[in-house]
Amino acid sequence: MNIALPDLAAMERFGRAIADQLRPDDVIALTGGLGAGKTTLARAIIAALGHEGEVPSPSFAIIEVYDPPASGGPGVRLPLVHADFYRLKDPSEADEIGLDDYRQGAALIAEWPDHAGGFAHEPGCLSIALEVADEGRIAIVEPGPDWRDRVSF
């Protein structure tokens, strides 16, 4: 399915719609060229999950982790890993940085997922390819089996 995202407000609404349906062990696999909006969409999802404050791009660190607050105060509603695999030269490097350990019970937002070997084979993967279109973006969405009953954007 194709979703038009003509402006930042539309991208933020799309991020909220994804966040509303996100469950532990899900993967949001974001693809698209440089500047296509992958990090912008990731930030919208993370904010909609309840994170307050800055959402740094994980381009340098590769992985950023967001945990729900222990006291029930403000924060993300579920454990979340945001990863940018652009700098990986081989998918085996995802194992070397401990990706599986980070993912235990957490949802994953993966930018450049192909650099980590891809996730589309996982039933809980929502693949989103972002393309520049005029002033906005087009999101090409391919839900895995676990997402098919949840997709309502």
Are the C-beta atoms of residues 5 and 35 closer than 8 Å to each other?
Answer: no
**Does any domain span residue 87?**
yes
**Does any domain span residue 153?**
no
**Does any domain span residue 129?**
yes
Beta-strand (E) ranges in 47-114? Answer: 63-66, 80-84, 107-111
What is the Cα 146 distance to its own chain's centre?
A: 16
**Does any domain span residue 33?**
yes
> In the structure, what pLDDT confidence band is assigned to residue 52 with cuts at 50, 70 and 90?
confident
**Does any domain span residue 77?**
yes
- pLDDT tens-digit map of 59-99: 777 999 998 987 766 788 999 999 999 999 999 999 999 99
Conformation bin of residue 118: beta by default, left when phi > 0, alpha when psi is -120 to 50: left
> What is the span of the domain harbouring residue 107?
2-146
**Does any domain span residue 152?**
no
DSSP string computed for 14-38? HHHHHHHH--TT-EEEEE-STTSSH
pTM of the full predicted structure?
0.93
- pLDDT tens-digit map of 94-118: 999 999 999 999 999 999 999 999 9
Q: What CATH number is associated with residue 116? A: 3.40.50.300
**Does any domain span residue 40?**
yes
Show the tokens assigned to 84.
């940018």
Number of structural domains in the chain: 1
